[in-house]
Amino acid sequence: MLDDDACYSHLARRDPAADGEFFVAVKTTGIYCRPICPARLPLRKNVSFFRTAAEAHANGFRPCLRCRPESAPDSPAWLGTLASVRRALNLIDSGFLVDHDVDALADTLGMTARHLRRLFMKHLGVGPIEVEQVRRLHLAKKLIHETGLPITEIAFAAGYGSLRRFNEVFLNAFKRPPSSLRKKRGANSSAAPLIVSVALRLDRTSLRTPDHLELKVSGSASALIRSVKGTTVTVELVNVAPRDIATAISEIKQRLHSHRPSFAAR
Ligand SMILES: [Zn+2]
């Protein structure tokens, strides 16, 4: 359970250590933010706190355009949860629910869909479908902000079955079309290098990243580490098709997390 007063005090200080720990939803604007959001501090009576972005989303809030909740490090509510839930989250993160339903996901984990949903509700406060919905929206928003990929390719990369469906969901959430988030008009290009940021939940000083990762997603796919700033790693995806972006980012995150020195080694 979150302690609302403690959360508000982290928010008031824009505490970087609280980033990913919780999200704050502002009732007057319908937006949810990271604790580090540069926007003016909302009044205490106007905010509520959620453990995960998925929970804020399921309660009808939309992600902030300034602090970009889709770029927050993974929530410890996700990382610290049961191994089976974590496995389910990793599968969802890599796009499993684009081609499969929740029954297939539960099957893979050796449990019934009902049991899986019960575990999700208990540990995350939302079901697998809600997690998938917010994953798609977050990935699409991230790719719009960070890459020059055309909107159609982004729709498919994020797992939407059609451009129409993506536009519908996006308009519903943001009351504006996807292209309106693009800073540079006419910058759309599939030819530009595909550079994305990956946020890790790590002790800042302990991060030792390799320069280059061969990815399993396809024979020639790889990731070049371009920069590391705090816990944000900027990577260039090489030979990664739009439909494989989710899997590639998920793999990079998991591989870089495994580079974390063990606690015993510190
Ligand atoms: Zn914000």
Contact 55, 125 (CB under 8 A): yes
187 and 209 together in one domain: no
* Strand 47-50 versus strand 23-26 pairing type: antiparallel
Domain end, chosen from 37, 66, 95, is at 66
Q: What is the CATH number of the domain that holds 44?
A: 3.40.10.10
Task: Mark the residues whose beta carbon lies below 5 A from ion ligand 1.
Answer: 33, 37, 64, 66-67
Mean pLDDT of 194-223: 80
The answer to whether residue 64 is catalytic is yes
Q: Is residue 126 one of the residues assigned to a domain?
A: yes
Q: What is the CATH number of the domain that holds 179?
A: 1.10.10.60
CA of 186 to the centre of ligand 1 (A): 26
Active-site residue, from 25, 31, 67, 233: 67
60 and 161 together in one domain: no
pLDDT tens sequence across 92-148:
999 999 999 999 999 999 999 999 999 999 888 899 999 999 999 999 999 999 999
pTM of the model: 0.88
CA of 261 to the centre of ligand 1 (A): 32
**pLDDT score for 264:** 36
Surface-to-core class of residue 245, CB atoms within 10 Å of its CB (0-12 exposed, 13-18 middle, 19+ buried): buried
Q: Is residue 174 one of the residues assigned to a domain?
A: yes
- Beta strand spans in the chain (E): 23-26, 31-33, 47-50, 62-63, 194-199, 212-214, 222-229, 232-238
Nearest CA-CA partner of 167 in 98, 245, 175, 97: 175
The answer to whether residue 7 is catalytic is no
CA of 63 to the centre of ligand 1 (A): 7
Contact 246, 254 (CB under 8 A): no
Active-site residue, from 53, 54, 64, 92: 64
CA of 39 to the centre of ligand 1 (A): 6
pLDDT tens sequence across 66-75:
999 998 987 7
CA distance linking residue 74 with residue 183, whole number of Å: 26
Min mean pLDDT across 120-134, 147-161, 171-185 is at 171-185
